[in-house]
A and B are shown apart, each in its own frame.
Chain A
Amino acid sequence: MKNSIYAVAFGMLFLTACKNDPKQAESNEMNTHEMQMGTDENHDHSSMGATTMQAGKTMGATAQKSGLTSAIIDGYLEIKNALVKEDSKKAAEGGKMMLMAFSNFDMSKLTESQHTKYMEIAESAKENAVHISKNPLEHQREHFEFLSKDINDMIALVGTDKTLYQDFCPMAGNNNGAMWLSESKEINNPYLGSKMMKCGSIQKQIN
């Protein structure tokens, strides 16, 4: 009896250590009854390990929570989704939307150390957005590749409160590979579109 109590206590400790979610810990405590009933600890251990590992694969950075970049990211996602659908006109509109977002960006909310880097990124992103706002699809896609890097760097610098996924397709960008940010887990390729819609995988989850 004593041994099984220790076993249960140890099991509980392990469970609460692996799952950070407080709600989960609560339900774990409620499950001790079931555990006492002789559930194979080893089995629990490995199945939980597998779940944690799977989550770990897409687990990523927790970006600073900031709403400053929201409008810019919205513009970016407009472009992205238009490129997925191969709608050049809509992508152009997204480019204009992004430019507007940049002009409305409140730089006074940035710290001094962020200022210079932000300006460097913004200059590049705006240039890419301008090109996207007035060019055919393939040229838009070329600029989107650089825009994606810009926005990714901007998020690393300033933060975001959105949940985003960093996707990568090794065949995009003339087989050199290219990344993009998405608001959904589902892979829809903005570089290849209907040619190879599902090419790519999630590299990182932001938030």
Chain B
Amino acid sequence: MPTTRNQSNEVLETDFFKTFDAPNNIQQLLKNSCYDCHSNSTNYPWYNNIQPVSWFLENHIKKGKKELNFSEFGGYSKRRQKSKLKFIKSQIEKNEMPLSSYTFIHRDAKLSKIQKGILLNWMTKLRDSL
């Protein structure tokens, strides 16, 4: 069964990084570790063409985007933005995100302790500023 590709070259006005100013390292961390499932632009691996991998991936992406979509973040209400920021922080702190099944394959997406610290620190400041 063909699956639709979650790919878009267009960077929406509502994209997280068009909405908030962020230093390059933060952008890299989020894009690298989160954007595949939580944005409109997935970097599909070569094995995506193999089933049931394809189905698994699409499922993750569908669920991920429903929960949080960085491409549309700017369009969320402030209430929702604050809430999401808190949960992003919480999920990363608890090692629930990025998914271990994802980082198992995408080693570079795994967040080190230092990277987590930097990211969470920045997110906390952002949330407080909203």
18 contacts across the A-B interface (CB closer than 8 A): A120-B77, A120-B79, A121-B79, A123-B77, A123-B80, A124-B77, A124-B79, A124-B80, A124-B83, A127-B80, A127-B83, A128-B83, A142-B86, A142-B87, A142-B90, A146-B83, A146-B86, A150-B79
A128 to B87, CA, bound (A): 11
Q: What range describes how many residues of B lie at the interface?
A: under 10
Cβ of B79: which chain A residues have Cβ within 8 Å of it? 120-121, 124, 150
Q: Which residues does chain B contribute within 8 Å of A142, judged by CB atoms?
A: 86-87, 90
List residues of chain B with CB within 8 A of the CB of A150: 79
Query: Can you list, as one digit per residue, whether each of A30-66 has a CB less than 8 Å from chain B (1) or not (0)?
Result: 0000000000000000000000000000000000000
* Chain B 63-102 interface mask (CB, 8 Å, partner A; 1/0): 0000000000000010110010011001000000000000
In the complex, what distance in Å separates the CA atom of A121 from the CA atom of B90?
22
Question: Range of interface residues on chain A?
Answer: under 10
* Interface residues of B, Cβ cutoff 8 Å to A: 77, 79-80, 83, 86-87, 90
Complexed CA–CA distance, A127 and B79 (Å):
12
Interface residues of A in 132-160 (CB under 8 A from B): 142, 146, 150
Residues in A lying within 8 Å of B, measured CB to CB: 120-121, 123-124, 127-128, 142, 146, 150
Q: How far apart sit A128 and B79, CA to CA, in the bound complex (Å)?
A: 12
| Chain B min CB distance to A152 (Å) | 12
| A123 to B78 CA separation, bound complex (whole angstroms) | 12
> Taking chain A's interface residues, is the majority helix, strand, or loop, or is none over half, making it mixed?
helix
Q: What residues of chain B lie closer than 8 Å to A121, measured between beta carbons? A: 79
| CA–CA, A142 and B83, complex, Å | 10
Chain A residues within an 8 Å CB radius of B90? 142
How far, in whole Å, are A123 and B79 apart by their CA atoms in the complex?
Answer: 10
In the bound assembly, the distance between CA atoms of A121 and B83 in angstroms comes to 12
Distance in angstroms from B65 CB to nearest chain A CB is 14
Shortest CB distance A134–B (Å): 12
Residues of A within 8 A of B80 (CB): 123-124, 127
Q: Which residues of A contact B77 (CB under 8 A)?
A: 120, 123-124
Give A142 to B90 CA distance when docked, in angstroms: 9
Bound: A123/B80 CA distance, A: 9
Cα of A150 to Cα of B80 in the assembled complex, Å: 10
Cβ of B130 to closest chain A Cβ, rounded Å: 14
Cα A121 to Cα B79 with chains together (Å): 8
A128 to B86, CA, bound (A): 13
A146 to B79, CA, bound (A): 9
C-alpha gap A150/B82 in the complex (Å): 12
Q: Sorted from nearest, which 10 A-B pairs have the closest CB atoms?
A: A120-B77, A124-B79, A146-B83, A124-B80, A120-B79, A142-B90, A124-B83, A123-B80, A123-B77, A124-B77
Q: How far is the CB of A121 from chain B (nearest CB, A)?
A: 7
Q: A127 to chain B: which residues have CB within 8 Å?
A: 80, 83
B72 nearest CB across to chain A (Å): 13
A146 to B83, CA, bound (A): 7
Taking the nearest CB of chain B, how far is it from the CB of A195, in angstroms? Answer: 19
A174 to chain B, nearest CB (A): 9
